[in-house]
A and B are shown apart, each in its own frame.
Chain A
Amino acid sequence: KNQVEQSPQSLIILEGKNCTLQCNYTVSPFSNLRWYKQDTGRGPVSLTIMTFSENTKSNGRYTATLDADTKQSSLHITASQLSDSASYICVVSARFGNEKLTFGTGTRLTIIP
């Protein structure tokens, strides 16, 4: 069964600090992995998308890594800001003609001043 597990479930850090969120998956055949940011009361917004051959991808202060051998991904946030407070969802795609997405439950990140 395809699964995506994220850790930690929740995280609180001081503004300006860095943090790393983890995503482990058992999805096959693997197509791509996406990180989404979901603000409270809003829909998810895509941060990065990574395919099998990509090890790292950055989007501003967000850097995602992918290790396809160990089936792990991380999202590193540098110099956190209050606006980074949100849920971060890891989504892994399997490709069977149409795309099948498996969602993680997300990490709830809170940035405090």
Chain B
Amino acid sequence: ETGVTQTPRHLVMGMTNKKSLKCEQHLGHNAMYWYKQSAKKPLELMFVYSLEERVENNSVPSRFSPECPNSSHLFLHLHTLQPEDSALYLCASSQDSTGGEYGYTFGSGTRLTVV
């Protein structure tokens, strides 16, 4: 494990369901991120949180709703998703939102399938 834990590892949901992805880090980092990784496409940054405040939202549809209750936990709430939202969702953390000396630590991701 890298120090960033994501649950669940796999999720299948219908388009009318509501589900949440969870990310937890025990590295003492102050910044956390959600990325989307689709097949044969570069990682896409979705949200950035620094010290529990959202500092970046990259034009992500409102059916994705992030929540950062403290610097160790990050959630991604999902509702009324579309099949094209199926992807690997990666959480990452870093010392601060500048990336820090040691860069980013990624979790293992949640493989999401929308049916």
Question: Do chains A and B stick together as partners?
Answer: yes
Listed in ascending order, the chain A residues whose CB lies under 8 Å from chain B are 4, 31-32, 34, 36, 41-46, 49, 89, 93, 95, 97-99, 101-106
Kindly state the interface size class of chain B when it binds its partner. 20 to 34
B60-115 interface with A by 8 A CB criterion:
90, 92, 97-99, 102-109, 111
- Pairs across A and B, CB under 8 Å, 28 listed: A31-B99, A32-B99, A34-B103, A36-B106, A42-B108, A43-B2, A43-B4, A43-B90, A43-B109, A45-B2, A45-B106, A46-B103, A46-B104, A46-B105, A49-B103, A93-B99, A95-B98, A98-B48, A98-B55, A98-B98, A99-B97, A99-B98, A101-B45, A101-B99, A101-B104, A103-B42, A103-B43, A106-B42
Seen from chain B, the residues whose Cβ lies within 8 Å of a Cβ on chain A are 2, 4, 6, 40-43, 45, 48, 55-56, 90, 92, 97-99, 102-109, 111
Q: In terms of DSSP, what is the predominant structure of the interface of chain A?
A: strand
Closest chain A residue, CB of each to CB of B101? A49
B45 and A43 contacting across the interface, CB-CB below 8 Å: no
CA distance A50 to B45 in the complex (A): 22
Question: Would A44 and B106 be within 8 Å (CB), given that A98-B56, A103-B43, A104-B42 are in contact?
Answer: yes
> Please, how many angstroms separate the alpha-carbon atoms of A32 and B105 in the complex?
16
